[in-house]
Amino acid sequence: MEKLSISDMAVFCKSKGFVYPNSEIYNGVSGLFDYGPLGTELKNNIKQDWWKTFVQERDDIYGLDGCILSHQDIWKSSGHVEFFEDIMVECTKCKERTRADNLIEDKLKIPAEGLNATDINKIIKENKLACPKCKSELKEAENFNLMFNTSIGPVQNNSSVSYLRPETAQLIFADFKAISETMRVKLPFGIAQAGKAFRNEISPRDFLFRTREFEQMEIEFFLRKDQHNKCPYLKQVQNIKINLLTAAQQKKKEKHKEIKINEMLKEKMLTEWHAYWLSISYKWFLDLGINKEKLRIREHLKKELSHYSSATFDIEYLFPMGWKEIHGNANRGNFDLMQHKKFSKENLDIFDEEAKQKILPEVIEPSQGLDRAFLSFMFDSYNFDKKRGNVVLKLHPKISPYKAAIFPLVNKLDNDARKVYNLLKKDLNCFYDTKGSIGKRYARMDEIGTPICITIDFQTKEDSTVTLRDRDTTKQVRIKVDELKDSILKILNK
């Protein structure tokens, strides 16, 4: 199989232990997936690299691990309880409910995100769109709230109502006061959180792309209004080349163009700090090996912008089902802090030494979906090698589930091979395999993206050397056991 569809990828992920449909023994639940042994490793590696890059290697970002359940007022203040909705259409006969913009996009091949119910009803009528399941007539489009409701404590009443968080971001705003008081922060600074989010999607689809339980890795970067165009790191990013699809190009149905990020600044499409966060979020994908031809930045059209956002850009990946958002990057002003200040009656202003007064900062929000990152790395690395006759998953070594596999050439060498395995596995996630020919063992490791295979043979006994085989080139070199760990670490950090 050379060109993978999204369902082929789901089959591949299941067959290799990356991702399984949730509750499969009970026929599954739509929009829920479990990560298997290899998927868990890959997902954790992606998350760890993100955390290292955007939190640990910086001194202006603080980490947070907030609760999934919170006081209901967090979600009332943020607007989610009232407005976090998608538009759905229901079939008059079979009662199937479908996300209206998905139906229009699928049937008419036109973009439909951001359309209101009136526009949707008009398009459905004009084009005689029917139920995708039974082809019967559809009811008028209506709003559907995506929040998962629950209740906290043994007594169920109005005050026990709670929600599973639909984004990690609001916890950052809710804990903003605590973090700014305890961490001696100085504007500009950010708070990062990675964790689960839940949305009762009307039509979950495309495998991991739109699910009802997923993970986000989000940053809220707080700054004073007058700091937006004072980013000291601009030099580091201004020459990064990006594929950009502007709102104007979308209206004219033009394709994206490769530009440098500073051209966006010249056109005043966004502020300096926004350009910085957008470009380093884009670069993170390139640094982890994503094909630059399959990555682009798309500017939101006016009608897509939330009422509080002055500019939003998506990073999109070219999946088999087209260009799709994998990351959102918005200038949210001070909408969220202002809402929480109003509803909680807590003064969330912080004293700013430079401005010599208390202020309520604004934010730039880079919001990364972990499962969509996972899916883009899987598609991007998937190669079917005709010569080898097997899949080679060319994952960046930093994120591959296993860093090395260790094989004794024959069972007699098991003791010697286990010594090498034990030496490495304390520091690196390694796999030990004795079954089948060396060729078969190589192929199994290619398919799950293991960058290095190490074979222990009879020469190992004589001179303490092993063969190290590279997944992508299949080249083999002989290397001393003593030098093995350093050589592998060099490959992992390339």
Minimum CB separation of residue 210 from ligand GAP in Å reads 4
Contacts 24+ apart (CB under 8 A), 275-280: 275/231, 275/234, 275/237, 275/238, 276/231, 276/233, 276/234, 276/237, 277/219, 277/221, 277/329, 277/364, 277/366, 278/313, 278/315, 278/329, 278/366, 279/237, 279/240, 279/242, 280/54, 280/237
Q: What element of type H or E holds 340? A: helix 335-344
Q: Which member of 218, 316, 416, 446 binds ligand GAP (CB under 6 A)? A: 218
Minimum distance, C-beta of residue 181 to ligand GAP, in the bound complex (Å): 24
Residue closer to ligand GAP by CB (options 366, 397) is: 366
Applying CB under 6 A, which part among 6-14, 66-74, 102-110, 214-222 lies near ligand GAP?
214-222
Among 180, 211, 376, 450, binds ligand GAP (CB under 6 A): 211
Query: Token pair for residue 372?
Result: 């969509």
Which ranges of 205-332 does DSSP label H, i.e. alpha helix?
234-237, 247-251, 261-266, 272-287
Of 86, 90, 101, 167, the one binding ligand GAP by CB under 6 A? 167
In the bound state with ligand GAP, the residue whose beta carbon lies nearer, of 333 and 447, is 333
Q: Which of residues 210, 228, 296, 340 is near ligand GAP by CB under 6 A?
A: 210
Q: What residues have CB less than 8 Å from 304, skipping those under 6 apart?
A: 113, 114, 312
In the complex, minimum distance from the CB of residue 384 to ligand GAP, in angstroms, rounded to a whole number: 27
Contact 285, 49 (CB under 8 A): no
In the complex, residue closest to ligand GAP by CB: 369
CB of 222 to ligand GAP, least distance (A): 15
Q: Check if the beta carbon of residue 406 is closer than 8 Å to that of residue 456.
A: yes
328 binds ligand GAP (CB under 6 A): yes
Dihedral of CA 124/129/133/139: which sign?
A: positive
Q: Please give the full DSSP string across 310-331, using - where no structure is assigned.
A: SEEEEEEEEETTEEEEEEEEEE
Spatial contact of 224 and 273, defined as CB atoms under 8 Å apart:
no
Stretch in the footprint of ligand GAP (CB under 6 A) among 335-343, 366-374, 431-439, 485-493: 366-374
Cross-strand partners of 33: 21
Among the residue ranges 45-53, 107-115, 155-163, 322-330, the one whose residues contact ligand GAP (CB under 6 A)? 322-330
The distance of closest approach from Cβ of residue 327 to ligand GAP in the complex, given in angstroms and rounded to an integer, is 5
- Write down how long the chain is: 494
| Least separation in angstroms between CB 30 and ligand GAP | 12
Within positions 233 to 252, which residues make up the interface with ligand GAP, using CB under 6 A? none
Q: Edge-to-edge strand order for the sheet containing 257-260?
A: 61-64, 189-198, 213-223, 362-369, 322-333, 311-319, 295-299, 241-245, 257-260
β-strand 161-164 against 148-151: which pairing, if any? antiparallel
Nearer to ligand GAP, 211 or 400 (CB): 211
Q: How far is the CB of 198 from ligand GAP (least distance, A)?
A: 9
Choosing from 80, 165, 177, 199, the residue that interacts with ligand GAP (CB under 6 A) is: 199
| Residue whose C-alpha is closest to residue 390's, from 432, 440, 455, 433 | 440
Q: What is the rounded end-to-end Cα distance, in angstroms, of the chain?
A: 30
Residue numbers 367-406 binding ligand GAP by CB under 6 A: 367, 369, 371-372
- DSSP H helical segments within 72-219, as ranges? 72-77, 80-83, 100-108, 117-126, 169-174, 176-182
Q: How far is the CB of 380 from ligand GAP (least distance, A)?
A: 15
200 vs 429, beta carbon nearer ligand GAP: 200
Site size toward ligand GAP, by CB under 6 A: 17
- CB of 66: closest distance to ligand GAP in angstroms? 13
Q: How far is the CB of 229 from ligand GAP (least distance, A)?
A: 23
When the beta carbons of 130 and 363 are compared against ligand GAP, the nearer one is 363
Stretch that binds ligand GAP, among 71-79, 101-109, 171-179, 213-221 (CB under 6 A): 213-221
Interface with ligand GAP by CB under 6 A: which range of 211-219, 231-239, 258-266, 351-359? Answer: 211-219
Residue with Cβ nearer ligand GAP (162 or 211): 211
214 part of the interface to ligand GAP, by CB under 6 A: yes
CB contact set of 172 (below 8 Å; sequence gap of 6+): 64, 66, 191, 192, 193, 218, 220
Helix (H, G, I), strand (E, B) or coil at 32: coil
175 forms part of the interface with ligand GAP (CB under 6 A) = no
Cβ pair 357, 350 in contact under 8 A:
no
Nearer to ligand GAP, 93 or 320 (CB): 320
The correct pick among 85, 105, 119, 325 for binding ligand GAP (CB under 6 A) is 325
Positive or negative: CA dihedral 32, 38, 44, 48: negative
Q: State the residues that interact with ligand GAP by CB under 6 A.
A: 167, 169, 199, 201, 210-211, 214, 216, 218, 325-328, 367, 369, 371-372
